[in-house]
Amino acid sequence: MTDGTGGTDDQGLPHSPSFLLPPSSFCLRVVKLGGSLLDFDALVPALRSWLAGQPAMTTVMVVGGGSLADAIRDAHVRQPLDDEAAHWLCIRLLGVTAELVARLLPEARLIPRLGELFVGRTSVRSGGLKSALQQEGGPRPRDAGLWILEPESFLRDEELRIGAKPLPHTWGVTSDSIAARLAVALEATELVLLKSRLPDGAEIGEAVRTGYVDAYFSRAVVGTRAVRCVNLRAVGFPQVEMRIPGSQEDQPQRTRRSRRT
């Protein structure tokens, strides 16, 4: 994040030197910022500190809905609000929380469409991001900073254009699965879940069963390269590297585990 030595890139976008990438590189992480962290008094310094400690990489963030989404869930139970309406109200709400975090972090860039991550032709169609980037004259990734995505356009339009089956419009899909779908679509180097606690283990199935992630997450995450869970509230930001379903990797190691929620 900006520390007084940063400036702007050639598009006039704010950046921090720690996040600059060589023009030929495409290293990208997707981060889901849990809605439970929106009432964390130290959210901004904690988030900046965590980001500063990560390997230099373009970072795309999805922000959860927190208690605001719970209000829509409650209305869905108590009022004549159909599933589809409740779904899109929650998706629009994620745009509000994205803007909130962007205002707290003025060095970040709020983007309403995934295509704004790229310079040049921004329509990424069926065949995936990799094939689009390999096309002569195709889109090229911007190489600066933290990008906070309002996910509605991605879910209404861009998700379909990359050939993905839409995520179900149910309460079993939250910003956890949206971030996982985004990580797969972008062929991200890693997916990071920033939350208020750690899961009880490294198995994604167990994380689903205990409610640490949403019910669809174990399916949405298939195809990701790496998944980390981080407790942003705890000193030192303890983390767990998760075992991805279908992965042949060895059992990941848990580091500095904390039970603080």
Q: What is the mean pLDDT of each run of 10 residues along the chain (261 residues)?
A: 33 31 59 97 98 91 92 88 91 96 95 80 48 48 78 88 83 95 92 98 96 96 95 98 70 37 32
pTM listed for this prediction: 0.79
pLDDT at 159: 82
> Is residue 21 situated within a structural domain?
no
Asked if residue 122 belongs to a domain, the reply is yes
The per-residue pLDDT for 136 is 44
Instruction: In whole angstroms, give the CA distance from residue 167 to residue 181.
Output: 8
Dig out the tokens for 243 from the structure: 């075992």
The answer to whether position 146 is within a domain reads: yes
Residue 76's pLDDT is 85
Q: Is residue 70 part of a domain?
A: yes
**β-strand pairing of 28-33 with 118-119:** unpaired
Percentages (nearest 5) of helix, strand, coil residues in the chain: 35, 15, 45
Q: How many CB atoms lie within 10 A of CB 67?
A: 10
In angstroms, rounded to a whole number, what is the distance separating the alpha carbons of residues 217 and 205? 9
Q: Which domain holds residue 56?
A: 28-255
CATH number at residue 153: 3.40.1160.10
**Distance from C-alpha of 93 to C-alpha of 151, rounded to nearest angstrom:** 10
The distance of Cα 191 from the centroid of its chain, to the nearest Å, equals 7
Q: Is residue 142 part of a domain?
A: yes
Tally DSSP H helices, then E strands, for the chain.
Answer: 9, 12
Domain count, the chain: 1
What whole-number distance in Å separates Cα of residue 240 and Cα of residue 26?
25
pLDDT, residue 164, reads: 72
Give the pLDDT of residue 143: 56
Residue 3 falls inside a structural domain: no
> Is 76 a domain residue?
yes
What confidence score (pLDDT) does residue 101 get? 98
260 part of a folded domain: no
pLDDT of residue 230: 98
